[in-house]
Structure 1
């Protein structure tokens, strides 16, 4: 897998995992479940109200308990634009299918960071994400400027190389 795709996939998986950690009692679906599947499993609304092009859409994070949807995108202007469009599409579809049930909205207030060492590599990687616009969590990767023996050492040093 090309390195940029690997980092994007890793970001999606880590952010989704940490969302679940921060919301352990919520019913949450990740990008493996379609809109139809979520509606059916949760017995929400009427999946028949979805348009044909919406049925197989897979939001990155769907929190049924909080009625929030998040799209995870890179931390740049293109990522923000694509994320907002995707979030609008998911929300429109969900809320049309729900009819009179409490509507979904764009997720808010989800941010964090985590340090990672890939496959016992020599550098420490930092993944940061922020939800500055409802429904869009944007992420960025940085890498330690030098080799460190531990994630704690790298964090204390605070020497990160921007990979954009």
Structure 2
């Protein structure tokens, strides 16, 4: 699905509570921002996971969540986009690989999101497979997983974004947190017990985290407020 569709689910998965009253004044957040405080992490997760898939499959033609089913069928040379009904042709799966003939839907790791994602995967596959040629039927992808870390200051707390694909086509992600440990390397801190990401941290640094991840993948400028490091999956192996 597109970015707009998952934001409400994301906020629910992070607690579905009101935004902290002073969040618009917190450092790392634009003073005039009206974004839901958890939306930045949802966008960051979708973008990072999508980019990682393309990096892991450099010989594939990969469509991310800006491409509709109609575009995927036409530009992926899968079949006849006119066979898609008007009710489904504008739907946008999160990741579609037209070489390996697989797709993935990205969701937060909670039961409600899992059920929603499972239904979406089924609808996308049913619609696509009505329009593609018999030798290009798609299935839900498997075996896709990864992890990255954000360090906001030397020796400070670490944020982790991790994802896995527990069932065909459904990739689930989770944000977690490691406590500060001065004079410890990021890998030593990463080895600590994972905790839920504190809500105050999300409100304060969610927007900054999104910007830093985009910059780490070469999709934007490094925010001047960010003085730390982003450790991508290639660094975590």
Which structure has the higher relative contact order (CA within 8 Å, separation 6+)? 2
Matches within 5 A, 1:64-143: 64-117=98-151, 122-143=156-177
Q: Distance in 2 between matches of 1:26 and 1:102?
A: 14
CA displacement at 1:109 relative to structure 2: 0.7
What are the ranges of 5 or more consecutive residues in structure 1 without an aligned counterpart?
Answer: none
Q: Which has the higher strand share?
A: 1
1:1-164 correspondence to structure 2 within 5 Å: 1-117=35-151, 122-146=156-180, 151-156=186-191, 158-163=192-197
Tell me, in whole angstroms, the C-alpha distance in 1 between the residues paired with 2:178 and 2:89. Answer: 42
Whole-Å separation in 2 of the counterparts to 1:41 and 1:139: 29
CA 1:146/1:2 → structure 2, altered by over 3 Å: closer, same or farther? farther
Which sections of structure 2, spanning at least 5 residues, go unmatched?
A: 1-34, 199-237
CA distance in 2, matches of 1:32, 1:18: 16
Checking the alignment, whether the CA contact within 8 Å between 1:116 and 1:151 is kept in structure 2 is no
8 Å contact from structure 1 (residues 70, 107) kept in 2: yes
Q: CA-to-partner distance for each residue in 1:69-94, whole Å, 9 max, x for gaps?
A: 10000101011101101101110111
- Aligned partners of 1:69 and 1:135 also within 8 Å: yes
How many residue pairs align between the two structures?
Answer: 162
TM-score normalised by structure 1 residue count: 0.90
CA–CA separation in structure 2 for the residues paired with 1:44 and 1:137: 23
Larger Rg, first or second structure (1 or 2) = 2
State whether residues 177 and 195 of structure 2, in contact with CA within 8 Å, keep that contact through their aligned partners in structure 1: yes
Secondary structure of the structure 2 residue equivalent to 1:126: strand
- C-alpha distance in 2 between matches for 1:4 and 1:113: 19
